[in-house]
Amino acid sequence: MTAPIVETEALTKAFQGMVALDAFDFSVGQGEIVGLIGPNGSGKSTVVNLLTGVLAPTAGRIRVDGRDVTGAPAHEIARLGVARTFQMIRLFSSLTVEENVVLALQQQSGAGYVSSFLQSREARERRLAARAEARETLKLFEMDIHAEKLATDLSIGQQRMVELARGLATRPRLFILDEPAAGLSPVNVDRLITMIRRMRDEFGVTVLLVEHVMRVVQSVCDRVVVLDYGEKIADGAPNVVVEDPKVIEAYIGLGRAADA
């Protein structure tokens, strides 16, 4: 395996004593597409929130590109090239679709705040460049026709595409997708599958995919990690993992779910 982009060591998160993630060891290699699956409430989104700095871990370590970022604020992790989408879609509601993407781009390549305040030529040029870039990326997701609309006026499926465009536009090193197929029509799920592949193959983006829709996981992931009650119960190739009795049990919910 190539050098990991992100790596965790005994990563643990407890909410008021309730352990949502327990000593999780995990890594995503450069250029991989890794799936993270598990039943509802198994801690998948918690992993995403920890990796992106939205939540601070209770214990354990996180490294991005070999650099220790445990407890680092979200914006610093983002600036290392980690982008994400949200299970419950998040877009800036008072901004248009294009502005949403431009804003994300500006964080990476915008002019300085002072230069922008003074309306320098450089600032204007960079903003124009960011707009062009945003249009370009929106086009990939066939969202350029909606660029001028308010983000919140779109359908759920379209909003998901805008979230993907927002992340991809910044050319992240690691793109974490939290259930991107939720609420998508089958046609759009197909498009999503194609787009995830293109992200890696054309744009060199490493992808961590949290997903319930097994069709997506099976068709794009190189490797799948399975969580159950905050513990890693499997890690391997998709076709191997789905055959794993522990995974099957977790999903069918014999045993522990019955007495939960």
Ligand X SMILES: Nc1ncnc2c1ncn2[C@@H]1O[C@H](COP(=O)(O)OP(=O)(O)OP(=O)(O)O)[C@@H](O)[C@H]1O
Q: Applying CB under 8 A, which residues contact another protein?
A: 15-16, 45, 48-49, 52-55, 73-75, 78-79, 83-84, 86-88, 90-95, 99, 103-104, 106-108, 110-111, 113, 116-119, 123, 166, 170, 178
69 in Cβ contact with 43 (< 8 Å): no
Beta carbon of residue 211, minimum distance to ligand X (angstroms, whole number): 10
Q: Contacting Mg ion (CB under 5 A), which of 8, 42, 45, 49?
A: 45
β-partners of residue 37 are 226
> Which of 56/132 has CB closer to another protein?
56
DSSP, residue by residue, the chain: -PPEEEEEEEEEEEETTEEEEEEEEEEEETT-EEEEE-STTSSHHHHHHHHTTSS--SEEEEEETTEE-TT--HHHHHHTTEEE--SS----TTSBHHHHHHHHHHHHHPPPHHHHHTT-HHHHHHHHHHHHHHHHHHHHTT-GGGTTSBGGGS-HHHHHHHHHHHHHHT--SEEEEESTTTT--HHHHHHHHHHHHHHHHHH--EEEEE-S-HHHHHHH-SEEEEEETTEEEEEE-HHHHTT-HHHHHHHHT-THHHH-
Beta carbon of residue 113, minimum distance to another protein (angstroms, whole number): 5
Q: From the list ligand X, Mg ion, another protein, none, which binds 42 (C-beta under 5 to 8 Å, kind-based)?
A: ligand X
> Which of 146/166 has CB closer to another protein?
166
> Which of 19/103 has CB closer to ligand X?
19
> Which of 82/241 has CB closer to another protein?
82
Q: From the list Mg ion, ligand X, another protein, none, which binds 104 (C-beta under 5 to 8 Å, kind-based)?
A: another protein
Residues that bind ligand X (CB under 6 A): 15, 20, 38, 40-46, 87
Beta carbon of residue 241, minimum distance to another protein (angstroms, whole number): 24
Strands 223-228 and 231-236: antiparallel
β-partners of residue 236 are 224
> Which of 85/206 has CB closer to another protein?
85
- Contacts with Mg ion by CB under 5 A: the residue count is 3
Beta carbon of residue 28, minimum distance to another protein (angstroms, whole number): 18
Is residue 54 involved in binding Mg ion (CB under 5 A)?
no
> Which of 66/73 has CB closer to another protein?
73
Is residue 41 involved in binding Mg ion (CB under 5 A)?
no
234 in Cβ contact with 226 (< 8 Å): yes
Is residue 46 involved in binding Mg ion (CB under 5 A)?
no
205 in Cβ contact with 16 (< 8 Å): no
Q: Contacting Mg ion (CB under 5 A), which of 27, 30, 70, 87?
A: 87
Strands 231-236 and 33-37: unpaired
Beta carbon of residue 192, minimum distance to ligand X (angstroms, whole number): 17
For Mg ion, the binding residues (CB under 5 A) are 44-45, 87
